[in-house]
Chain A
């Protein structure tokens, strides 16, 4: 048999043997038999090159290389056929190991609630106004109808500074500052830290308020009611009921306490709401004409309403925080749970 005929025979033989291979062990056997470094058939044929008569060498060389390519690609095809039959060939990975997560921070519960309130009122055309936390008696009390030595001041236990100034007991001074600076129509939210001389499980010497103020021509008590309905139903959910009842604040006339259905029992009555089904959430009223006048706004032409709410209580409610002091512990295990 001539060397070239022999190569043609080997080519047919490889195809026949490859057709028989059904598993990786047989594949490996086939590979060693044909491509093995020492005994491999292809290598042996390559080594036989020098025994071929010189005039046949060119054809022989090309034929051996064709055989080699045929065997290599045949083995590769076989291999990929065998591996797609779900046999693992890479190193095993425990895919249940935890993912490598970037650390996620959090925004304080009180800031979350504040941001929601701002967003709701943004949609109603309100902007945020700001003022200092250290205030004068004038802005914190006098301009808001709290006369000196009046018992109404007892409800606002005050931190005084050595120089007659004080820590604002509410954010209302910002309303006064704004009304003195700007002309109606005015729609603002004032929010920030407020301070009262009080420290127990239910009270923190520092807390947060948001107050709203609208002054324009033709503002009615009905508008106050409508605004609070729109706001509180957005904040607490559309099923929330809102109740206004008369109350007293020196700077609004008439004034109202505003209750919403208890977020815990949904109005059935529980311990949190003293079985009433209601939660006192907000104070509001029509801006006292004298307050307007004191700010240089004509009370015969303009009227307005104002409301104020503690942000801390709402945050405690929303996130189920039982004690106001927990809000200011800054325990990261708690803070990081607050996601929205």
Chain B
């Protein structure tokens, strides 16, 4: 919000240096985020937080300055000369809803609408407000002076003349000052005359009753509208104005009358009008009530961790309008000033304001700088566990060490991308965002792969010769089902750094990465053929851990890519990890003996069957075995394949003899030949 230094100076004597002013305001919670010197003035950009509507005007900010710099505040006091004609005889006010707890009306007759005097124009233009005419400018000036929104009606255009504050009825409409014709839904808070709606209460006036060149008599409205009523109306109509902004945050109930008087005074002075006798008021003090609270100075000091001087604490509360009265040894009884009403409205219980809110007032005036920094002595570390976080870190390290880079994508995506891949345990329809930013972000993801594939494409379009990405993130299976943490990888192409061994990524590289990931978590990955959607037929498989399906893997159909692209997704819960690391087995101190077997068998015999058969043969001292080579072609019958398996024998307590190994190998060969050997 923008403030003019010269305008502030009307109400308080300012320090010579504007930087000093800015620093003190910032330290007190009114952050000055910009200073712009121009035309003998300084424009100050101040970040006023939503809880401080009282500082969204020059007088309110001047009050803070006065306290911070120990200087008197000089609020403008309206001096009115009223005519004998009673305002009550001119216009009738009717409040038909509790959403308007206060409505002050004044009438000024015989004004001449014309340009504003130079000082007024300058003052408004300094904060970026356009000068329109003296009447509009005066209402605007008082808004930026006191924070109280003012509306001026052309009295002659009001039927009655009467003002009624009520909710809109079915079928009513209004053309507002901006020329828009607006259909009003019932319930919108409006100002009506005897016949029709003439203004949107707290938002904007109507064009038919607006002040024009021809206007002679004006009715000044200075009211307090319920902030929720204004907020709902503005939201329904899609409007946001200076007035609605302030009403939504809540105004000063006591400002209605002083602001009305101030406008009347200025209209008489600058537009040659005559103020009629008395203001029409409908105060509802019971709507507002008084909030009080007690600050105990010892508790304040304990809370802040500092010793504040009592006199200074009292000074600050007094300056800010809290009227401190000593109570007990160390207590101060405080009353919340009317302009802070809404700041404390929610922050109390049966009229008694919570002490922390009152502490804040003193603490911010002293500034946080004077509070010494200390570390709390809480004792032993928190009892909670960072298990899920540590596990995620281990997955990251594992995949990064395999050459993959971590991607982070949005947790939502296109609706038509939802079914591209199987996802993990989807339930019904995807979770839908009611107010999406665009069709790209319509539903919560049920698989990491659609967005991760987009990341791969992003790289492909920039000429990447290889893609190796992984992502860890939550999936939203649908309905109220719990979120599932998933891990996905996508890979293709060959590494440019392996200059004499250019081999593109294939299914078994990706599978190997997953296997080594499982190994790091003391788990074992198994697969079985499947046809997950989105994968090239014949390439896909399901991933299993301890017999349960935990994900899938395969080659993706990706026409954009110059090389084959492989992807996998799995449930992070499958990467279970014991709390303590497994104990290691001591390696044998005796030499190992290795031996190979080459088996010719039908191509459709899966390796997993051979693995199983070897396990079932139960040969002794077999430390490990594995696939050495697969060969089909010359010398191998069509429909068959040669599989060479390596075996490593080792005993823990002695050296094995070649004869023992030969015996075992003979047994294995017999067994494998018998069960799977090529029969021609």
Contacts and interface: CB of A to CB of B under 8 A. Distances in A.
Nearest to B501: A100
Contacts of A152: 50-51
A332 B28 CA distance: 45
A161 B393 contact: no
Interface in B399-425: 399-412
Interface in A165-203: 167, 178, 182, 185-188, 191, 193, 195, 197, 199
B259 interface: no
A155 interface: yes
Given A108-B408, A246-B364, A185 B378 contact: yes
A147 B347 CA distance: 11
Contact of A199 (B397, B437, B466, B500): B437
A118 B305 CA distance: 27
A295 B652 CA distance: 59
Contacts of A154: 50
A162 interface: yes
B406 A332 contact: no
Contact of B376 (A97, A214, A276): A214
Contacts of B52: 248
A107 interface: yes
A162 B432 contact: yes
A138 interface: no
A276 B232 CA distance: 38
Nearest to A216: B378
A245 B29 contact: yes
* Interface size grouping (class) on chain B: 35 or more
A288 B359 CA distance: 12
A154 B470 CA distance: 35
Contact of A127 (B363, B384, B473): B384
Interface string B271-284: 00000000000000
A310 to B, nearest CB: 14
A161 B474 CA distance: 17
Interface in A213-262: 214, 216, 218-223, 225-227, 229-230, 243-248, 253-257
Contacts of A185: 378-379, 382
A171 B406 CA distance: 22
B43 to A, nearest CB: 14
Given A286-B356, A330-B407, A107 B374 contact: no
A312 B304 CA distance: 31
Contacts of A247: 29, 31, 49
Chain A interface SS verdict (over half) = mixed
Nearest to A229: B373
Contact of A149 (B26, B228, B407): B228
A220 B382 contact: no
B467 interface: yes
Contacts of B378: 125, 185, 187, 214, 216
B504 to A, nearest CB: 13
Interface stretch (A9-17, A21-29, A83-91, A129-137): A129-137
Given A246-B28, A253-B357, A221 B303 contact: yes
Given A223-B305, A330-B407, A134 B381 contact: no
A53 B88 CA distance: 161
Interface in B557-593: none
B614 to A, nearest CB: 31
A182 B382 CA distance: 11
Contact of A151 (B249, B364, B376, B455): B249
A194 to B, nearest CB: 10
Contact of B384 (A133, A182, A216, A329): A182
A227 B401 CA distance: 34
Interface string A154-166: 1100011111000
A232 to B, nearest CB: 11
Interface of B: 26-29, 31, 33-34, 49-52, 228, 231-232, 248-249, 302-306, 346-347, 354-357, 359-360, 363-364, 367-369, 371-376, 378-386, 388-389, 393, 396-397, 399-412, 431-437, 441, 444, 455, 458-459, 462, 464, 466-470, 473-474, 476, 480, 482-483, 495, 497-501
19 contacts: A102-B403, A103-B468, A103-B495, A105-B404, A130-B388, A134-B444, A152-B51, A160-B435, A161-B431, A161-B432, A167-B433, A222-B306, A229-B373, A244-B369, A245-B27, A246-B29, A255-B360, A274-B33, A328-B408
Shortest Cβ-Cβ A-B pairs, 9 listed: A222-B305, A246-B29, A103-B403, A220-B305, A254-B360, A248-B49, A105-B400, A246-B364, A330-B455
